[in-house]
């Protein structure tokens, strides 16, 4: 379970990007985060995976407090958090298998990584996951020879190779065509069920959020102002998320936190 309590993130002396945010994600639920650009969605994910350090508050993953970790403890914690990126973040000159195995870098020796002598168990698991997402036949193909949808599938498998306790996805379909976007969203939903893995997705496409996720969290000006089932995301909620004023956000922030 991911438990976020009273999270604040401020850059410099400006207004906080995240404002006393509370959020819980558990089980095999697929949770989408929606909101206008600048709402704080990407900053929230970056705080969870420790790409940035929160200003204050708590982020706890299955009993481990993530805030304030450094060095080896931080590296160990990051093993527990899988990340799927909008821009894929693959090494183009490497093969699909080599990119997938980079998800195991936190577990194998530097010598094994440099010489590409991957453990047999890691190779077996990589083929199983690649077969599951439909890219096993590309194992020895360079990453830059793949389509966008195929590259994103490589990114998903790389994240799953970590055997994460939660999977984060930052705009995973933004670079894809509509049909491929739906395929990737369906894949993330199905994998969450199969692996009993909670998934937290930052997404702009509200229709995809309503169709493929179990719960929608709406953010505005660094606060959660909606937290509910896809069917509960009505026109009034959409208005508050995408057209609300800062004053409206302050008025709705406390009820939204209580609902989460």
pLDDT tens readout for residues 57-98:
999 999 999 998 989 899 899 999 999 999 999 999 999 999
Taking the alpha carbons at both ends of the chain, their separation in whole angstroms is 13
Q: For residue 12, is pLDDT > 80?
A: yes
Instruction: In whole angstroms, give the CA distance from residue 23 to residue 155.
Output: 26
Which residues is 51 bridged to in the sheet?
none
More confident of the two residues 169 and 105: 169
Q: For residue 202, is pLDDT > 90?
A: yes
Instruction: In whole angstroms, give the CA distance from residue 199 to residue 154.
Output: 17
What integer pLDDT is reported at residue 253 of this predicted model? 41
User: Distances in Å between the alpha carbon of 218 and those of 15, 184, 201?
Assistant: 20, 21, 12
What average pLDDT does range 205-209 have in this prediction?
A: 96
Q: For residue 99, is pLDDT > 80?
A: yes
Please, what is the average pLDDT of the chain? Answer: 91
Q: For residue 259, is pLDDT > 90?
A: no
What integer pLDDT is reported at residue 244 of this predicted model? 59
Strand order across the 18-25 sheet: 18-25, 2-9, 56-61, 64-65
Which residues does 140 contact at the CB level (< 8 Å), separation at least 6? 95, 96, 97
- What percent of the chain has a predicted confidence (pLDDT) above 70? 93
What integer pLDDT is reported at residue 105 of this predicted model? 86
Contact 224, 260 (CB under 8 A): yes
Tell me: the pLDDT tens digits for 120-165? 999 999 999 999 999 999 999 999 999 999 999 999 999 999 999 9
Nearest in space to 152 (alpha carbons), one of 93, 88, 78: 88
Q: For residue 48, is pLDDT > 50?
A: yes
Nearest in space to 175 (alpha carbons), one of 92, 93, 46, 88: 88
Tokens representing 189 are: 């939903």
Q: Go through the domains of the chain in sequence order and give each one's CATH number.
A: 2-259 (3.40.50.300)
Tell me: the pLDDT tens digits for 209-236? 999 999 999 999 999 999 999 999 999 9
Q: For residue 246, is pLDDT > 80?
A: no
What integer pLDDT is reported at residue 248 of this predicted model? 42
Tell me: the pLDDT tens digits for 161-172? 999 999 999 999
Which pTM value belongs to this model? 0.89
């Amino acid at each position: 379970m991911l438990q976020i309590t009273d999270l604040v993130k401020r850059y410099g002396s400006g207004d906080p990007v995240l404002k006393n945010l509370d959020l819980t994600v558990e089980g095999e639920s697929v949770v989408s985060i929606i909101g206008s650009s600048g709402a704080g969605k990407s900053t929230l994910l970056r705080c969870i995976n420790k790409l940035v350090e929160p200003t204050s508050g708590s982020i706890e993953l299955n009993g481990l407090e993530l805030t304030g970790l450094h060095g080896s403890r931080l590296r160990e914690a990051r093993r527990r958090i899988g990340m799927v990126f909008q821009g894929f973040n693959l090494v183009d000159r490497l093969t699909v298998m080599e990119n997938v195995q980079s998800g195991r870098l936190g577990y194998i020796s530097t010598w094994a990584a440099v010489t590409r002598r991957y453990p047999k168990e890691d190779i077996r698991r990589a083929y199983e996951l690649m077969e599951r997402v439909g890219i096993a036949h590309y194992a020895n193909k360079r990453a830059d020879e793949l389509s966008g949808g195929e590259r994103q599938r490589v990114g998903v498998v790389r994240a799953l190779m970590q055997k994460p306790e939660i999977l984060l996805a930052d705009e995973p379909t933004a670079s894809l065509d509509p049909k491929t976007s739906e395929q990737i969203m369906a894949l993330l939903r199905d994998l969450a069920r199969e692996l009993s893995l909670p998934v937290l997705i930052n997404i702009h496409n509200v229709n995809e959020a309503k169709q493929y996720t179990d719960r929608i969290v709406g953010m505005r000006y660094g606060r959660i102002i909606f937290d509910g089932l896809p069917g509960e995301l009505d026109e009034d909620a959409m208005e508050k998320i995408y057209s609300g004023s800062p004053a409206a956000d302050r008025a709705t922030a406390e009820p939204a936190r209580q609902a989460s």
